[in-house]
Chain A
Amino acid sequence: MRFLMTNMGGGKEPDEQLFADMAAFVEELTKEGVLLATGGLGPASRLSSGDDGRITVTDGPFAEAKESVVGFALIDVRSRAEALELSERFVRIVGGGVTYMSEVFGPE
């Protein structure tokens, strides 16, 4: 099963410890073959929205977009429980904030 974990930020101010812990976490998951892809995201810079066939494009920055995704991880796990466990460990490392976890349906 694949899950996409999206992190909205809002954790504690990153320090050296956090970077070290996160690097170790990523390394562990990579070694285990769990982490398929991961990355950080820049601020949203363009908004495309469609309404009844009309497409509107708005350039950023978007001041109101506090809850934007700052990072993601695509993981390949055996069960929902394993994904949950990993997302909890992630939140513990970043010291709070908001992280969503969604199952990815797709080719498998």
Chain B
Amino acid sequence: MAGDAHAAIDAVWKRESARIVAGLTRMVRDVGLAEELAQDALVAALEQWPRDGVPGNPGAWLMTTAKRRAVDGMRRGERLERNHERLAHALRTAEETGPEADDDVLRLMFVSCHPVLSREARAALTLKLLGGLTTEEIARAFLTPEATVAQRILRAKRTLARERIPFEMPEAGERAERLRSVLDVVYLVFNEGYTATAGDDLIRADLCREALRLGRMLAALVPGEAEVHGLVALMELTASRAAARTGPSGEPVPLHEQNRGRWDLLLIRRGFTALLTARSLGAPPGPYVLQAAIAAVHAGARGADDTDWARIVALYERLERVLPTPVVRLNHAVSVARVAGPETALALTDTLDLGDYHLLPAVRADLLSRLGRHPEAAAEFTRAAALTRNAPERALLLRRAEASAAAVPSFAAAVESFLAGLDAPAARSYGRTLRRLARDLGDPPLTEVTPALAAAAFTAAWHGAAPRTWNRHHSALRTFSRTAPTGDLTAALPRRKVPPGHPEPLDRGTVEALLSLATAAPRERALWRIVYESAAPAAVALSLNVEDLDLAADRAVIAGGRELRWYPATTDLLRSLVGSRTSGPLFLAERRPAPARGATGLCPRTGRGRLSYERAELLFKRHTGHTLHRLREARRLHLGF
């Protein structure tokens, strides 16, 4: 049957063409001519094999035929412009196979991936010369018109001839860069197949298979290069997930939702083996080895939750150093989300610019939706859908955009958007109340929180709080919920009566400002700090004597064993206030008392008396407009009792 014969010839051709073209190129030193000769032999096979059967060693048959035809052609003068005699001699005398054959294939790879060619041209030429694909097959795989691919290949061959690219191994100085170019082309082909950038099939398996074959072939040709094994490992491990990454209707399934039972263990094992080979070569890991190592962490985990995300984050950090591309930084952010949460990860994506790459908005959308920021998530999902050229992926993104648009924010997310609209001190104060409630409520959707539910959580959290504290939390919840779709959540919560005698405490901002008030004397500031920090009544602070101080421990112990504590900054102030005094009142009045008054408890060094409550209160009022009592109350409130 002619069809079977053609299929057989095609199969032989794809297997043998790299060696044949490479061998012929070594002889004629021209990739274009070598490929023409090889094609001539293929035409001969198509004529003869269906009639005479496939020969025993088809590769050798093709090679011999190509050479004979070349010599015949030159005799007939068909290729006048070439140097007949030299070529004919080379073709007649050249060895057909031998140890050179492998090196020829490697040389051919270096040539077809030469940096003088565009990336597209490198990929097309490599598939043509080393994969034995027809122009039509390449066009279909890349979803490009056949004429375009044909032009691309033709121009590439002309460029190679014009630039006189030699059919040689690259010199030591440029070897690393040239090898990188070969690896990049192979990986480009793989990715084009795996993450098809366009079209209706998410995976074009034939491209992946070609890339895997090229990679495995390369690993056998240059076994001493760690990055080659790294690339093979990366492709084997990535390909192992191929079956699991599309759902029943062709839609993409994200890694953490994949059914790991459908991963291909054989490919995983091959990937691990290649990675071990790469590591055993001892070089510092390059980009492909690191990416393979990341893929290996995934492959070794039984589930998304068992994944060693911290190790993945660490590997991405190393990868960012050798390959600082926006895509790598994006993937880094995705792994950070697992370790440090979506908020940290989102911040990492804020500065990224990936142009029209749809994965950036897709990742941001996912993080936003995990943060419950649904309207923003919907916008990003829509943007990602508009950017992707892959149909099943676009459908999935649009579905998620719709779901986000319809989603009710969680209680916590609503709190965060509310706080974002406040100034910093208010946000801090309200945040303490509302975030605590969000946590205690278990962060339900906002609309599920009723006044009764809120009252229960509120009471559980603060039933023991002082009336003022209770009322402050109450106000925060009321202000937040009055404008929310829930309505006033304090409807079932009474405010508490504040017992008389407790003056309104100063708020934290005021206290912080006055404790560092530069216009106040050190004595005043030391007193205020002690009152605030120890929460002692001002009269007690004023009664302190120098001998009560235990400055090394930031405290004082007064008669009756009562202890007053403060912060180290206050101790510094006190040291300068005390100076060389060893006894007597700590806080001294400005003047000596008139001797007639016969005052007692004077300072033995200066003869001055103790600062009176009235005077201290007056000074505080003059500086701040408040009473000392309110300062002490502020401390009680800020400490929460």
Contact = CB atoms under 8 A, between A and B. Distances in A.
Interface stretch (A43-51, A57-65, A75-83): A75-83
Interface in B256-297: 262-264, 266, 270
Interface string B521-543: 00000000000000000000000
A41 interface: no
A20 interface: no
Contact of B11 (A30, A78, A106): A78
B15 A107 contact: no
A12 interface: no
Contacts of B8: 81, 84-85
B560 interface: no
Nearest to A84: B8
A33 B216 CA distance: 5
B264 A107 contact: yes
A107 B213 contact: no
Interface string A82-108: 101100000010000000000000111
B176 interface: no
A22 interface: no
A26 to B, nearest CB: 12
Given A31-B216, A108-B243, A79 B11 contact: yes
A85 B6 CA distance: 12
Nearest to A29: B15
Contacts of A80: 7
B102 to A, nearest CB: 8
B262 A33 contact: no
Interface stretch (B204-212, B379-387, B582-590): B204-212
A108 B242 CA distance: 6
Contact of B15 (A36, A37, A82, A106): A82
A32 B614 CA distance: 97
B31 to A, nearest CB: 21
B217 A36 contact: no
Given A107-B243, A108-B243, A82 B14 contact: yes
A108 B4 CA distance: 25
A34 interface: yes
Contacts of A33: 212-217
B206 A31 contact: no
Given A32-B217, A34-B213, A108-B243, A85 B56 contact: no
Nearest to B261: A107
A81 B217 CA distance: 21
A78 B15 CA distance: 10
Interface in B11-33: 11-12, 14-15
Contacts of A106: 264
A82 B266 contact: no
A78 B215 CA distance: 15
Nearest to B137: A78
A85 B213 contact: no
A41 B11 CA distance: 29
Contact of A78 (B14, B221, B243, B266): B14
Contacts of B216: 30-33
A18 B398 CA distance: 60
A84 B215 CA distance: 24
Contacts of B263: 107
B623 to A, nearest CB: 78
A89 to B, nearest CB: 9
Contacts of A37: 266
* Chain A interface bracket (under 10, 10 to 19, 20 to 34, 35 or more): 20 to 34
Given A107-B243, A107-B263, A108-B264, A32 B12 contact: no
A78 B56 CA distance: 21
Contacts of A79: 7, 10-11
B56 A92 contact: yes
Which of B216, B221, B243 lies at the interface centre, i.e. has the most chain A CB atoms within 10 A of its CB? B216
Interface string B201-233: 000011001001111110011000000000000
Contacts of B10: 79, 81
A31 B221 contact: yes
Given A31-B217, A33-B213, A107-B263, A85 B205 contact: no
Nearest to A85: B11
A78 B217 contact: no
B39 to A, nearest CB: 19
A78 B8 CA distance: 12
Which of A37, A77, A85 lies at the interface centre, i.e. has the most chain B CB atoms within 10 A of its CB? A85
Nearest to B232: A33
Contacts of A92: 56
A31 B223 CA distance: 11
A5 B13 CA distance: 21
Contacts of A107: 240, 242-244, 262-264
A85 B266 contact: no
Given A78-B206, A81-B7, A84-B8, A36 B220 contact: no
A13 B220 CA distance: 31
Contacts of B206: 78
Which of A30, A33, A80 lies at the interface centre, i.e. has the most chain B CB atoms within 10 A of its CB? A33
Contacts of B266: 36-37, 74
A31 B324 CA distance: 33
Nearest to B213: A33
A31 B102 CA distance: 10
B220 A81 contact: no
A82 B54 CA distance: 13
A78 B212 CA distance: 12
Nearest to A37: B266
Contacts of A78: 11, 14, 206, 209
Contacts of B244: 107
Which of A30, A31, A34 lies at the interface centre, i.e. has the most chain B CB atoms within 10 A of its CB? A31
B11 A84 contact: yes
Contacts of B213: 32-34, 76
A11 to B, nearest CB: 16
21 contacts: A31-B102, A32-B15, A32-B216, A32-B217, A33-B213, A74-B266, A76-B212, A76-B213, A78-B206, A78-B209, A79-B7, A79-B11, A81-B4, A81-B7, A81-B10, A82-B14, A82-B15, A84-B8, A85-B8, A107-B263, A108-B264
Interface of B: 4, 7-8, 10-12, 14-15, 54, 56, 58, 102, 205-206, 209, 212-217, 220-221, 240, 242-244, 262-264, 266, 270
> What 7 pairs between A and B have smallest CB-CB spacing?
A33-B216, A31-B220, A81-B7, A82-B11, A81-B11, A107-B243, A33-B213
Given A32-B216, A81-B8, A108-B242, 8 more contacts: A31-B102, A32-B213, A37-B266, A79-B7, A79-B10, A107-B240, A107-B243, A108-B264
